Amino acid sequence: MVATFSLLLLYQLAGELLVHAFGWPFPGPVIGMSLFFLTLLARGTVSHELRNGTNALLQHLSLLFVPAGAGVMVHLHRIADEWLPIAVALVASTLIGLAVTALVIRAMAGDSEKERT
Amino acid sequence: MKALLDLWSYLLASPLLGLTATLLAYQAGVVLFKRTGQQAWANPVLIAIILIGLFLWFSGVPYERYFDSARIIHFLLGPATVALAVPLFTQWRNLKRMAMPLIVGLFAGSAAAAFSAMAIASWLGASPETVRSLAPKSVTTPIAMGVAEKIGGLPSLTAVLVVLTGILGAACFPTLFRLLGIKRHATQGFAVGLAAHGLGTARAFMVSEEMGAFAALAMGLNGIVTALLLPLLLH
């Protein structure tokens, strides 16, 4: 667990350093994920410890959104004033985003395992 | 009384209170989610946010104070994002096989989510800052906040809209895809990761590792596409 966590932090650190050195418009963790992914591809396998450690963290991914989400407290006034456009836009655009993506992929790739070539 | 007040201000200054409150609120959300037979409206994150909101409201603790003490949880989004490389790697062969459909789906879905949100909100009379804060709401919090700042939105409002979008997407996708007849886990995962970032991805992992990996990929790719294209298009 400690080894896995150190590894994740090192890749995040590497991502942050690259982002700052080259002025890239991406967050460091996304670059860190890409670097980590390329390392795994080059090595060809994932150890049991690494898989268990990352699974433990990813299992509770939604918990990590609570502090940012509670920021709704700061914007209660704006949300109360504009609740209709905000609510309709959020619900409709989320459904549209889900449907457009899934329908485009299905149109191009089919919907059953057998259709894979 | 004075001793109690001293204790209170001592607790407010340490991360103990914010961390405990966050974990307890989330735990309560998880219990309720299970008790109700995993009803979509009983989303653990939504319940946790409501409980934290009530706690702040009644205790009079400012949000910034709470966020400071719960910052370590927010920080863990970074290493968790890096950790997504592992499921991505284990599903790499399946992902490669669908590369072309996924790329087209990525651009179509990303544009549809961002521009439909902006169009609907401005059509219903939302203020320009609100419209611009809505544009990046499908991508993961750190990217969305950065984009909002660049295009003239309010980053802290965007963070809230991002979380609400994630809750909605995670709650709606099983029903929506049943109605549309979309069965393939790969397709469902990619769509929910694109439209509902980490919260959609977390929900997708509950269904299968394949669905989760496709969601993680879509979340990362949509983050990159949005970070690059939205500031250019809305300049």
Average pLDDT over residues B74-88: 89
Tell me, what's the pLDDT at B6? 85
> Do A76 and A53 lie in a common domain?
no
Rounded CA Rg of chain B:
19
Same domain? For A76 and A55 the reply is no
d(CA B64, CA A71) in angstroms, rounded, equals 8
Residue A44 lies in a domain: yes
Each residue of B134-147: pLDDT tens digit? 999 998 887 888 78
pTM, rounded to two decimals: 0.85
For residues A52 and A105, state if they share a domain: no
Tell me the residue range of the domain where A96 lies.
69-117
Distance of alpha carbon B103 from alpha carbon A104, whole angstroms: 10
Helix boundaries (H) for chain A: 2-22, 28-43, 48-59, 66-69, 76-81, 83-109
pLDDT at B38 (0 to 100): 76
Domain stops at, among A30, A59, A88:
A59
Structure-token pair, residue A23: 């002025």
Q: Which of A25, A59, A93 is the last residue of a domain?
A: A59
Q: Which residues 172-211 in chain B show a CB within 8 A of chain A?
A: 172-173, 176-177, 180-184, 186-188, 190-192, 194-196, 198-199, 201-203, 205
Q: How far apart are CA B34 and CA A111, in angstroms?
A: 31
Would A106 be classed as within a structural domain?
A: yes
The reply to whether A76 and A25 lie within a common domain is no
Instruction: Return d(Cα A18, Cα B231) in angstroms, integer.
Output: 21
Residue with tokens 């769509």: B191
Question: In chain A, how many domains are there?
Answer: 2
Which positions in chain B touch A92 (Cβ < 8 Å)? Answer: 116-117, 120
DSSP label at residue A62: G
Q: Look at residue A101 and tell me if it is in a domain.
A: yes
Is B229's Cβ below 8 Å from some Cβ in A?
no
pLDDT at A115: 46
- Look at A64 and B227 and tell me if their CB atoms are within 8 Å: no
Q: Are residues A79 and A102 in the same domain?
A: yes
Residue ending a domain, among A59, A89, A107, is A59
Q: Give yes or no: residues A86 and A53 share one domain.
A: no
Other Cβ atoms less than 10 A from the Cβ of B183: the count is 13
Distance between CA atoms of A101 and A90, rounded to whole angstroms?
17
Same domain assignment for residues A2 and A55: yes
Q: What is the ipTM of this complex?
A: 0.88
Residues A25 and B136: their CA atoms lie apart, in Å, by: 14
Residues A26 and A47 reside in one and the same domain = yes
Integer Cα distance of B196 and B100 in angstroms: 21
Q: Mark whether A80 and A55 lie in a shared domain.
A: no
Spatial distance between the Cα atoms of A57 and A64, rounded to a whole number of angstroms: 10
pLDDT, tens digit, 9 for 90 and up, residues B43-66: 888 899 999 999 999 988 899 999
Within a domain: A40? yes
By mean pLDDT, which of B5-19, B99-113, B180-194 is the weakest? B5-19
pLDDT in tens, A45-67: 999 999 999 988 888 888 998 99
How far is CA B25 from each of CA A19, B47, B49, rounded to the nearest angstrom?
A: 35, 7, 8
Domain assignment present for residue A64? The answer is: no
Instruction: Please tell me the distance in Å from A17's CA to the nearest CA on chain B.
Output: 14
pLDDT over threshold 70, residue A117: no
Q: What is the pLDDT of residue A15?
A: 94
Is the Cβ of B88 closer than 8 Å to some Cβ of chain A? yes
Same-domain pairing of A77 and A39: no
pLDDT exceeds 80 at position A25: no
Over chain B, what is the mean pLDDT? Answer: 90
Question: Which residues of chain B make contact with A12, given a CB cutoff of 8 A?
Answer: 78-79, 81-82
Q: Are the beta carbons of A62 and B202 separated by less than 8 Å? A: yes
Asked if pLDDT for residue B106 goes beyond 60, the answer is yes
Query: Does residue A38 sit in the same domain as residue A7?
Result: yes
**Residue-wise pLDDT tens digits, B166-216:** 999 999 999 999 999 999 999 999 999 999 998 999 999 989 989 999 998
